[in-house]
């Protein structure tokens, strides 16, 4: 039997804007100096850095470009490798002197080394995890202090764009000599029901003094309304120069359960109090109460309710913002995924930002938290295999300790498509990593994503994990379950279809490998040899109901891996520049800018209940008059009627009138022409005008969708994602979509003319994009082109009292347009 068939659980999270925060933690992200290039003595306190560039952390030097064939298209064609230096000068305040001082980095990409006042603190090769260094012994209490950080990412070290530099936040941790340890709280629950849940709170107390100290540990649990649910207190001895663990438990009556639909959260305030009654440390955390259970026969249960994974894989870059973490950009990504019907995220293929986990907690998204894309056997020349032996245990334990209190996380993934699948003793590595997961967190199962279907089973790697993930093996689900009925199985990576937003080639439904325009049709049928349209995963999951669900590849496009242009997954170690200028993926259901492709709506039609209807392709086919155009409707209604210029082309029932699409992929033995019950298809002789679809349920009209043959673009339509944004800290962003519109108000879906943005008022220009995988315009340029009628500008609110941001767009032959967004103070910190 698998290690986990039944799991009862609850977790701790964090305070309002940080997952585990001491009151002594302060923002350390402003006023850094940056130099790109080699710098002899860059760590020296005496170095003159006045001419270095001023930057604010998080910072990704690579997204500034340029896109160039000199770099690797497999990693986005961006200059992420090389050497960079960051320095920050600071002085301690009077209240900070004689305290214990540490610096916490949430992530540096990668091969970082850190100094304080010329003293070497350490290195961290892995870029996806945070770490803390003790500064106390080396500080100048009454003078200037200098932190220096050297970053040296290598070429051929990533299969996608990783970003470069201090791309996640930095904190200065000021504490007394007795404190809650870094990532030192852990909450588990047992016997969770809607009536009662047993809450276990573990707190680690660290004592930097030589002497033992008698302290009290006080834990206060607060619900979302601010009501104190429980207070617990116990005395203990904090042993000198050691870290001790304390345990407290209680039964919570009528807990507000965390779920996908109601992501209820609690706050935990932990105080360390000395024998004189002085509070030495206050540590604030956030947690949720919920129950998870995995079974081989039925699947996954959340709070007793059978729940299928409607998941997506997400890389960590944020499109035009690069890898530099921003909370609003991350939130927007996840909100778009929720709109598609997504209920689960796989953090492919490395640990995510804290912001992503916080927001998943808040939105009710399940998380598969993944550690590694590579173990000890090489995928790429300078990949993680170079440091695996030395660092894998530290990195995996740190990931789990850092993330273990998030209710959103339901599984730990120890690896993706690792090469050890193909060797006889590879199971030993899997066994070791799985054991570490159990030691650090016995409340969750571990998993891995296996792409070598035969080898992973033959060499016993699949036997070592609690939950078995298979990549692109939908056609083998039945065989797996027949041979291993006690295995708990899911699609850890599925689909992998490629498409360009708004592109429909005149070959229509031909299954080509590449097209001469470096784009891919949006009919959602084209992909590499291992891939298949979403329809096939839907179909095989319906045939095998015990499979937990899927994580499709991918929710968003990302920089790098421009398959099929230039290369193919991890089979090529070198450069992917043969089809330049392609430099970003086509795999997303949403493009780099967050603009929805047709595939978004295909998933939405299967994964959501709110009425929806989508129609494709565009209806501008001059020169194709009379030729049949394949027209598809995606809907969650019962039937759809199609009209051309007011004439009905007939009704079709979903699941009955099946839309034929071409199918051909590895392990599939069915017909080439697959009758999809998930798409409705009409073959319509083209004539310009109005194409209209109407959906029905019980014979009643539910939705209507109209596509018109558009005229020449005449004006620009601007839409902001929010009318009001925060001016609290200068980090909030507004995303403004520009669309080209003709004189009749129709969207110009084939327009690719120039556009220029400007930002004024109480905000600054941040980035632009258009979602075109072959565009070489860098995101920090205010000038670019529409891509199939759309473009994006991102503006940042100034830190201050608030005001208005004015965003203007203009283009040759187009009437310019301005939109105004309000900024205001929105301080929502939890007290």
Active-site residues: which are they?
Answer: 417, 493
- Cα dihedral across residues 46, 51, 53, 57: positive or negative: positive
Q: What are phi and psi of 38, to 5 degrees?
A: -70, 145
Question: What is the three-class DSSP state of 678?
Answer: coil
Query: Which candidate, 769, 773, 795, 800, places its Cα nearest to that of 783?
Result: 769
Element (H, E) at 541: helix 534-543
Number of residues written out for the chain: 831
Q: Please say whether the beta carbons of 319 and 594 come within 8 A.
A: yes
d(CA 541, CA 555): 19
**Tokens of residue 788, six digits:** 């199939």
Please write down the HEC assignment for all residues of 547-572: CCEEEEECCECCECCCCCCCCCHHHC
**Tokens of residue 474, six digits:** 């939908």
Contact residues for 40 (Cβ-Cβ < 8 A; gap 6+): none
d(CA 397, CA 412): 11
Rg (CA), the chain: 27
Q: How open is the CA angle 93-44-143, to the nearest 5 degrees?
A: 20
Helix, strand, coil share of the chain (percent; to 5): 15, 40, 45
d(CA 379, CA 372): 12
Q: Please say whether the beta carbons of 637 and 698 come within 8 A.
A: no
d(CA 263, CA 247): 26
d(CA 775, CA 758): 20
Give yes or no for a cis peptide into 667 (omega within 30° of 0).
no
| Cα end-to-end distance, the chain, whole Å | 46
b (16+ CB within 10 A) / e for 386-422: bbbeebbeebbebbbbbbbbbbbbbbbbbbbbbbbbe
**Tokens of residue 23, six digits:** 């009151």
d(CA 596, CA 72): 27
d(CA 694, CA 702): 7
Count of alpha carbons within 13 angstroms of residue 312, beta-carbon side? 30
Element (H, E) at 357: helix 354-363
Question: What is the three-class DSSP state of 743?
Answer: coil
The Cα-based distances of 58 to 157, 458, 727 in angstroms read 21, 44, 18
Give all strands (DSSP E) within 390-515, no chain letters.
409-416, 446-450, 467-471, 489-495
d(CA 500, CA 772): 8
Residue at token pair 């319906």: 542
Sheet containing 131-134: which strands, arranged edge to edge? 25-27, 170-175, 100-105, 131-134
The Cα-based distances of 48 to 31, 35, 166, 736 in angstroms read 15, 12, 21, 41
d(CA 135, CA 150): 17
- 647 CB-contact burial (10 Å; exposed 0-12 / middle 13-18 / buried 19+): exposed
Strands 196-207 and 119-124: unpaired
Contact residues for 226 (Cβ-Cβ < 8 A; gap 6+): none
């Amino acid at each position: 039997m698998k290690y986990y068939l039944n799991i009862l659980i609850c977790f701790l999270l964090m305070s309002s804007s940080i997952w585990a925060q001491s009151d002594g933690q302060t923002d350390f992200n402003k006023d850094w100096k940056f130099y790109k290039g080699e710098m002899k003595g860059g760590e020296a306190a005496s170095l003159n850095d006045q001419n270095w560039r001023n930057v604010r952390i998080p910072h990704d030097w690579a997204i500034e470009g340029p896109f160039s064939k000199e770099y690797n298209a497999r990693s986005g064609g961006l200059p992420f490798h090389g050497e960079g230096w960051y320095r920050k000068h600071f002085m301690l305040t009077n209240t900070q002197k004689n305290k214990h001082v540490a610096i916490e980095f949430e992530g540096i990409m990668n091969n970082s080394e850190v100094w304080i006042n010329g003293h070497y603190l350490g290195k961290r090769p892995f870029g996806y995890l945070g770490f803390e260094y003790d500064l106390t012994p080396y500080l100048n209490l009454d003078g200037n202090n200098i932190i220096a950080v050297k970053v040296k990412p290598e070429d051929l070290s990533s299969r996608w764009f990783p970003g470069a530099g201090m791309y996640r936040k930095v904190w200065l941790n000021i504490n007394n000599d007795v404190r809650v340890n870094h990532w030192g709280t852990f909450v588990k629950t047992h016997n969770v029901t809607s009536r009662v849940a047993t809450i276990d709170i573990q707190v680690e107390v660290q004592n930097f003094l030589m002497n033992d100290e008698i302290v009290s540990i006080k834990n206060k649990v607060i619900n979302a309304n601010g009501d104190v649910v429980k207070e617990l207190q116990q005395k203990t001895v904090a042993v000198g120069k050691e870290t001790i663990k304390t345990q407290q438990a209680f039964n919570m009556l009528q807990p507000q359960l965390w779920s996908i639909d109601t992501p209820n959260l609690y706050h935990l305030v932990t105080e360390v109090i000395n024998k004189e009654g002085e509070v030495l440390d206050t540590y604030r955390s956030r947690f949720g109460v919920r129950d998870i259970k995995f079974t081989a026969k039925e699947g996954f249960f959340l709070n007793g309710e059978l729940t299928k994974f409607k998941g997506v894989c997400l890389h960590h870059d944020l499109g035009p913002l690069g890898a530099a973490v921003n909370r609003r950009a991350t939130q927007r990504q996840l909100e778009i995924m929720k709109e598609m019907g997504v209920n689960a995220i796989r953090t492919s293929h490395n640990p995510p930002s804290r912001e992503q986990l916080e927001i998943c907690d808040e939105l009710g998204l399940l998380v598969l938290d993944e550690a590694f894309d590579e173990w000890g056997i090489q995928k790429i020349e300078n990949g993680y295999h170079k440091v695996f032996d030395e660092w894998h245990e530290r990195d995996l334990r740190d990931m789990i300790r850092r993330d273990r209190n998030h209710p959103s996380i339901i599984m730990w993934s120890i690896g993706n498509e690792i090469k050890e699948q193909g060797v006889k003793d590879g199971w030993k590595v899997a066994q070791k990593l799985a054991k570490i997961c159990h030691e650090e967190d016995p409340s969750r199962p571990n998993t891995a994503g296996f792409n070598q279907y035969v080898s992973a089973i033959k060499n016993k790697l699949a036997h070592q994990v609690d939950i078995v993930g298979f990549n692109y093996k939908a056609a083998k689900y039945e065989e797996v379950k027949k041979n291993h009925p006690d295995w708990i199985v899911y699609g850890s990576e599925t689909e992998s279809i490629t498409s360009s937003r708004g592109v429909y080639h005149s070959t229509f439904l031909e299954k080509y490998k590449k097209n001469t325009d470096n784009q891919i049709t949006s009919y959602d049928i084209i992909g590499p040899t291992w891939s298949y349209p979403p329809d096939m995963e839907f179909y095989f999951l319906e045939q095998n109901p015990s499979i937990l669900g899927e994580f499709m590849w991918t929710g968003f496009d990302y920089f790098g891996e421009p398959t099929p242009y230039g290369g193919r997954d991890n089979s090529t170690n070198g450069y992917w520049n043969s089809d330049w200028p392609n430099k970003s993926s086509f795999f997303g259901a949403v493009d780099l800018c967050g603009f929805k492709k047709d595939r978004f709506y295909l998933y939405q039609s299967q994964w959501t209940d709110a009425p929806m209807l989508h129609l494709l392709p565009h209806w501008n086919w001059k020169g194709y008059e009379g030729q049949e155009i394949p027209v598809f409707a995606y809907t969650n209604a019962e039937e759809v009627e199609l009209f051309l210029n007011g004439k009905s082309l007939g009704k079709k029932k979903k699941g009955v009138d099946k839309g034929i699409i071409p199918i051909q992929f590895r392990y599939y033995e069915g017909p080439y022409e697959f009758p999809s019950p998930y798409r409705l298809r009409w073959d319509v002789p083209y004539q310009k005008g109005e194409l209209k679809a109407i959906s029905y349920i019980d014979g009643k009209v539910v939705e209507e969708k109209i596509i018109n043959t558009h005229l020449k673009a005449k004006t620009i339509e601007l839409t902001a994602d929010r009318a009001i944004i925060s001016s609290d800290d200068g980090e909030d962003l507004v995303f403004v979509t520009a669309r080209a519109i003709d004189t009749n108000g129709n969207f110009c879906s084939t327009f690719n003319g120039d556009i220029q943005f400007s930002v004024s008022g109480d905000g600054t220009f941040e980035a632009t994009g258009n979602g075109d995988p072959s565009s070489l315009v860098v995101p920090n340029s205010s000038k670019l082109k529409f891509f199939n009628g759309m473009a994006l500008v991102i503006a940042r609110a100034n830190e201050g009292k608030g005001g208005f941001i004015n965003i203007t767009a203009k283009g040759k032959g187009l009437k310019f347009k301005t939109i105004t967004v309000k900024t205001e103070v929105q301080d929502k910190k939890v007290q």
